[in-house]
Amino acid sequence: MAQSAIELKGIDKSFGAVRANRDINLEIAPGTIHGIIGENGAGKSTLMSILYGFYQADRGEIFVNGQKTDIDSPNDAIAAGIGMVHQHFMLVHNFTVLENIILGAEGSSLLNTGIARARSELHRLEEEYSLDVDPDAIVEQLPVGLQQRVEILKALYRGAEILILDEPTGVLTPAEADHLFRILRKLKDEGKTIVLITHKLREIMAVTDNVSVMRQGTMVATRKTAATTVEELAELMVGRRVLLRVEKGEASPSGVKLSVKNLSVRDSRGVTMVDNVSFDVRAGEIVGIAGVAGNGQSELIEAIAGTRRAETGTVLLDGAPIDVAGSADPGELRARGLAHVPEDRHHVGLVLPFEENENSILGYHGMDFYLNGPFLNIEAIRSDARDKIEKYDIRPADCRLKTANFSGGNQQKIVLAREMEKDPGVLVVGQPTRGVDVGAIEFIHKQLIAMRDQGKAVLLISVELDEIRSLSDRILVMFDGRVVGERGPDATEGELGLLMAGVEAQEAAE
């Protein structure tokens, strides 16, 4: 039997009172795709950060290709043939692709010589692994799918034989995710070993050979993927049976809560991203907006929520206008009963250096409940945060912990708890379950359905087509900045996919 590409023995890691990894043992076979799954805060990313040298274990041993290896830094990991693609890419945005790839590994005191050698090697890697990307493109101008390829190329350029990917599809469209999986299979066929951290069980079933399950810092099971099921993996992750389908009754919509008329929005480059869009959202219904990323959905909800100025059009909240082209302000809209869960929690939804309790009141900190005269009532704020932590199962259960130290899924739950617990009449929510584990997805979906059943109006944006189909009472499809169709929740994935590709709109134009 071939020796393991990676073997971890007795890995322990604590952060203060929080024990993130507890006596972890794991073997990963060479030339395989090995999935690691678990709830938010289960310790997956911590374990892989130990393997990559970001953290050092308090106890335990690491073996690479059968050899005991001390990994005290990412440089040690790279020297051992281990590369890592992080959930939030580690790229210099105003550098070119080529400059990012050679950064820290220029290879020559004469930079021009190093660049010429790197360009040749990059071309070889692109050809070998179908990772086509323009080496002279500026990274910030690339879509996220291509930025991810740059990260993979960086690792391969440094000689990685073992590649760790942390939540690689969290920011990808379905088409980009499918292309990534083709790349991973090609890497596997070339003898590389892939470690895939993900919350998405369908991805595990589609692309991995083996899967290990973590729960509350421990390794609870390893299975051959072909010999397990989504249902078994979900139960192993959460420790109980999980409802994988959304259960909901018929909607009973009433009056219009949010009305959008002839709205047009431009992006920072002056390009029209939302083009004369009109629709209504009624009390007691969820309206989902489907579309391939970049077709105007983000700009649409930002204009409605007051974080981006519209060019033209009208938005009415409970029949009263929102000045979307001028003075619309998120604080004013919150006071009028419109809550917003932004798509980008890091740049818009949270201040990562703040404590959890501070983020749990952002935007609502002027409410009387949180004040003691002119000052913040710290005890009331922390008590409220503890209640949200318990209700939304935010881990670790520490309202004084810096928000940056929570996993991505738990950061998402902090934002959702803040917005959903203020009893808004209208909830505009972007990517509600991005980076969230299966147990938390079940909870979030139930909360959204409960809001609908309480007579709230919910406008939902998601790149997860299954999520749109299962939650929405009506589905609007956007293509090239326009709403090109409306369908019911029984619409097939194929039917929606054609609309998302603009096929029906193009046929109608012809």
The CA distance from 98 to 134, in Å, is 9
358 in any annotated domain = no
Which of 183, 203, 238 is where one domain is finished?
238
Is 350 within 8 Å of 321 (Cβ atoms)? no
List the one residue out of 26, 29, 21, 23 whose CA is nearest residue 3.
29
**Same domain, yes or no: 157 and 278:** no
Confidence label for 508 from pLDDT (cuts 50, 70 and 90): very low
36 in any annotated domain = yes
244 in any annotated domain = no
**Same domain, yes or no: 126 and 39:** yes
pLDDT value for 21: 95
Classify each residue of 34-43 as buried b or exposed e, where b means 16 or more C-beta atoms within 10 Å of its C-beta.
bbbbbbbbbb
End-to-end CA distance of the chain: give it in Å, rounded: 62
Q: How many domains does the chain have?
A: 2
Q: Which amino acid is at 407?
A: S
**Same domain, yes or no: 190 and 74:** yes
The CA distance from 236 to 222, in Å, is 10
pLDDT value for 312: 96
**Same domain, yes or no: 137 and 261:** no
**Same domain, yes or no: 175 and 226:** yes
**Same domain, yes or no: 435 and 491:** yes
27 in any annotated domain = yes
**Same domain, yes or no: 125 and 260:** no
Q: pLDDT digit string (tens) for 379-429?
A: 999 999 999 999 998 988 999 999 998 877 889 999 999 999 999 999 999
pLDDT value for 347: 84
53 in any annotated domain = yes
List the one residue out of 42, 142, 45, 162 whose CA is nearest residue 93.
142
Q: pLDDT digit string (tens) for 22-60?
A: 999 999 999 999 999 988 778 898 999 999 999 999 999
Q: Which amino acid is at 124?
A: R
443 in any annotated domain = yes
Quick check: 95 pLDDT over 80? Answer: yes
The CA distance from 376 to 380, in Å, is 9
Instruction: Give φ, ψ of 349 to 5 degrees.
Output: -90, -25
Q: Where are the alpha helices (DSSP H) in 224-320?
A: 230-238, 297-305
Residue 488 CB neighbours (<10 A): 10
Which of 189, 209, 238 is where one domain is finished?
238
Quick check: 4 pLDDT over 70? Answer: yes
The CA distance from 45 to 410, in Å, is 13
**Continuous segment of H or E residues that includes residue 264:** strand 256-266
**Same domain, yes or no: 92 and 128:** yes
Quick check: 352 pLDDT over 70? Answer: yes
**Same domain, yes or no: 55 and 186:** yes
SS3 call for 325: coil
List the Cα angle 133/135/136 in 5-degree steps. 125
CATH number where 317 lies: 3.40.50.300
Percent of the chain with pLDDT over 70: 95
**Same domain, yes or no: 224 and 317:** no
Structural domain including 296 reads 256-337+424-509
Return all residues near 72 (Cβ < 8 A) that are at least 6 apart.
53, 56
Is 223 within 8 Å of 209 (Cβ atoms)? no
Classify each residue of 268-295 as buried b or exposed e, where b means 16 or more C-beta atoms within 10 Å of its C-beta.
eeeeebbbebebbbbbbbbbbbbbbbeb
347 in any annotated domain = no
Q: pLDDT digit string (tens) for 230-268?
A: 889 988 988 877 666 788 889 999 999 999 999 999 988
357 in any annotated domain = no
**Same domain, yes or no: 165 and 94:** yes
- Looking at residue 96, the DSSP 8-state letter turns out to be B
**Same domain, yes or no: 73 and 39:** yes
The CA distance from 493 to 193, in Å, is 33
